[in-house]
Structure formats: C-alpha cells, structure tokens
Amino acid sequence: MQSLSNISYSPLPFTLYNERRRFPSLKSPPGPSTHASSCLLRSTANSSFLPRFDPLSNWKEKMMRKKPRGFGTVCYSMPLTPRSLQWISTVSTAVLMLARGTAIQKSFLVPLFVLQAPLSIISWIKGEYGIWFAFLALLVRLFFYIPGELELPFIALLLVIVAPFQAMNLRGTQAGVILSLVIAGYLAFQHFSRTGSLKNAFDQGSIVATLAIICISIVPCLLLI
C-alpha cells in the first residue's frame, strides 16, 4: 500500500499534449488551408511593391500622343485634278459672258466653253433635257428680245448640240488644250490692253472680269503640265 501511495501522477504529459493541440509546431507540414493563407499573406505583403494596373493608362497615353505640340498651323492642299480645272474654267467663262467690266470680244468665249466644259455638262446638253431647254430658249428668242449677255449661253448651248463628232473629239486632247490657251491668251491681251493699265484692270468695276481672265489663262497652262 505504501508503494501505491507514493506513486504520483504528473500532469505534464497531458499538458504537453494539450499545448501541442492548441499550438501546433511550425515545423509541421502545412495543410491545404495553411498553404493558401500563407500565399495570401505573401501576395498582400508584396502588393505595395508591385505596379498598380490603371485601366485608363492606355487611353491617357493615346490622348497625349494625339495632342498637338506647339502652335504650328496644319495645311492641307487639295490636288487640282483635270476635272476641277475644267470646272474652274467653265465658271470663269460663264462669269465673263455676263460681266460688263471688260471690252473683250465675247464671241470667243463660246468655243472656249465647248473645249473646256466638263463631260457631265456636255452630256447633259446633248441629252434630252438639254435639247428641250434649247428648244424652249429658241422659241423665247423668236418672240421676245434677249439681251446680248444671255444670247452667248444660248449660242453655246446650240453649238454643243449641233457640233460634229470630229470637233468634239478635240476635247481632252493636247491640241484642244493648246487651242484653249491661244483663245485665252488673245482674250487676256484684249482685256489688259483696252483697260489702259494694270491698275485700271483691278478697279472695282473690272476686278471680277480680270480675275476670270486670269483663271481661264492659267487653267490651260496647268493642263499642259
């Protein structure tokens, strides 16, 4: 009995066992949950050192590249095509037919119009609408008086309608352009010689006709280049 009474039960093993359960050792292999939590902690710890993604950064860079630097002017030059030059010559010829600030012989404007008019205008005049328009203008001319400025467009209309095929083939050729240049040069010589001086040619009464003369003279030169 004495040997049994001297036996004491030490609570140390039980305490160590409980402590191990409560505080597992760091040397133990981590489970799945422990590995995920450690990865999360590492990513949050290193997030301050990683560059942050800005969704508007690409848009800002594009806008900064498109922003013009300095105050330089941007010029855009439209190319002068043969069709646009023909329209310039046609409008200038029509202005000269109706203008009064010049003393040129305006009958030369009719063949110049036929040679330099765009193909769309020639096709319209030779079509059904052009023939009807010429017919009605002829009826009006028979019974009413038409001023001289309005007779020239009517004569140009009739000339295009009755012109033979061989004459219309001169349009768009080098020979037709040279003929237009000769007519325009002769009209320019008449205009500037009869106005007296270059200063009188740019007066208020004849500046429109002078600009039109310059246009019909420059267009054939550009077409020859």
For the chain, the straight-line distance linking the first and the last C-alpha, in angstroms and rounded, comes to 137
Distance (Å, whole) CA 23 – CA 25: 6
pTM of the model: 0.62
pLDDT of amino acid 63: 54
pLDDT of amino acid 74: 44
Residues 6 or more apart whose CB falls under 8 angstroms from that of 164 comprise: none
pLDDT values of the chain reduced to their tens digit, one per residue, 225 residues:
444 444 444 444 444 444 444 444 444 444 444 444 454 445 444 444 444 545 555 555 555 555 444 444 444 445 678 889 999 999 999 999 988 878 889 899 999 999 999 999 999 999 999 999 999 988 988 888 877 778 888 899 999 999 988 888 889 899 999 999 999 999 999 998 888 777 888 887 788 889 999 999 999 999 988
pLDDT of amino acid 113: 93
Contact 80, 72 (CB under 8 A): no
Q: Is 177 exposed, middle or buried (0-12, 13-18, 19+ CB in 10 A)?
A: buried
Enumerate the domain spans of the chain: 117-166, 172-225
Distance (Å, whole) CA 125 – CA 150: 17
